[in-house]
Amino acid sequence: MKEFVKRLAAEQKEAIREDRHYLHQHPELSFEEYETSKWIKERLTALGIPMAEGITGTSVVGILEGSEPGPTIAFRADFDALPVDEDNDLPFKSLKPGVMHACGHDTHCATLMSFAAILARHPELIKGKVKFIFQAAEEKLPGGAVQLVKDGVMQDVDYAFGYHSASGLEVGKVLVNEGAVSAAVATYELKITGKGGHGSTPSSALNPMPIACMVGTALNQIKPEKVSPIHGTTVTVSYIHGGQYPNIIPGDCILGGNIRTLDNDDLKLILDNIEKISKGICEAWGASCDFSCVVGYPATINAPEQTALARSVVEELGYEAKTSDPNLGAEDFAYFSLEKPSCYFNVGGADPENPSTYSPHHNKNFMLDEDMLDVALECELGIYLRATDQK
């Protein structure tokens, strides 16, 4: 398989870079990717790849069906950019001030387009059905994946794959972890209302500030007391806002923070406890408490079989398959992994001889070594061939 995959991927060596350069020069923010969506549709049309109907927003789903039976496999790439002003000296630097592909989504989209082009030109390789999911708006809640699931994209899918570029990992190394690979995330906010008054007569007021301090201290006990110690979880009190002058007791204050967990069931447990504990403390002191929360993406969970398949392909292609502790970043590929067995992996994009390629994601100097495009394309093609029992 190795020689076959590398030969087909090599045919796209120039095209995949040209596509990445175009996308990098023309970034668009989440839910505003109108020109990118148009570009994707035009490219798929030129390749003779039909597109799914009934897709909401700017996401695009291409579909190829083979003449032989087989599974339906989805490959996903996101393509939104970030509100970052690029500070790189590149011939394909962003042409839009204040907007940049600072997370590598341009590489994801370019890779999937080249993968689609290979299968379109080699229909004999297609068994069953392939879905090329070009997903909008990964960077901004509620994200584009959840709407694609609502649109029914995953209903006939047997399993799904996707990847993310990684500036902290060297080219030629691929991170493939089983189980949780990104965290479920939510934010919460509490408005604690007491009674304002003069600093000289606190007994005639009801100061919400010390109550907020008690609430914050109590919330820090949720993790050790309510959540299994083996679950990767954070419960953070990030801000308390209230009051302005030393001799004025404010009538209310705001407290809020962030939750991240690698166990999807823990998210509701934690939010329920935040509301219950906060309201209980406030009621005990005669104050009121309004609770609100925004639930972000679930945790992304890699299925054992698909993870083992991806790992074996990476190694057979001659690359280094690595594992690591999961991180508490959020990724809306999670919605696909909730629906069907999936694997989401990371492809190294750092050149050891070029320190600039180690710039962190979401940074104005974010940069990747483009050799990672070839690695990513080979991995997607190899995974597909192995998943359909070919080569």
- Residue 282: Cβ-neighbour burial (10 angstroms; 0-12, 13-18, 19+): buried
54 vs 60: CA distance, rounded Å = 10
Could you give the C-alpha distances from 151 to 56, 205, 353, in angstroms and in order?
7, 53, 45
Contact 119, 8 (CB under 8 A): no
Q: In a 3-state reduction of DSSP, which class is residue 148? A: helix
Neighbours of 152 (CB within 10 A): 11
Q: And the tokens for 273?
A: 């406890």
Rounded Cα–Cα distance for residues 370 and 363 (Å):
18
Catalytic residue among 188, 297, 319, 384: 297
294: nearest Cα among 344, 259, 249, 340:
259
Query: Is the CB of residue 256 less than 8 Å from the CB of residue 163?
Result: no
Active site residue 380: no
How many Å apart are CA 71 and CA 64, to the nearest integer? 12
Catalytic one among 370, 378, 380, 384? 370
Helix extents (H) in the chain: 2-10, 13-25, 34-46, 105-121, 145-150, 208-219, 222-226, 264-284, 304-316, 334-339, 371-387
Q: Are 120 and 48 in contact (CB under 8 A)?
A: yes
Give the rounded distance of the alpha carbon of 361 from its chain centre: 12
- Is 331 in the active site? no
Q: Are strands 300-302 and 179-182 parallel, antiparallel or unpaired?
A: antiparallel
Is the C-alpha dihedral spanning 190, 196, 200, 206 positive or negative?
Answer: negative
Amino acid at 308: A
What is the rounded CA–CA span in Å between residue 154 and residue 367?
Answer: 32
Q: Which residues are catalytic?
A: 297, 370
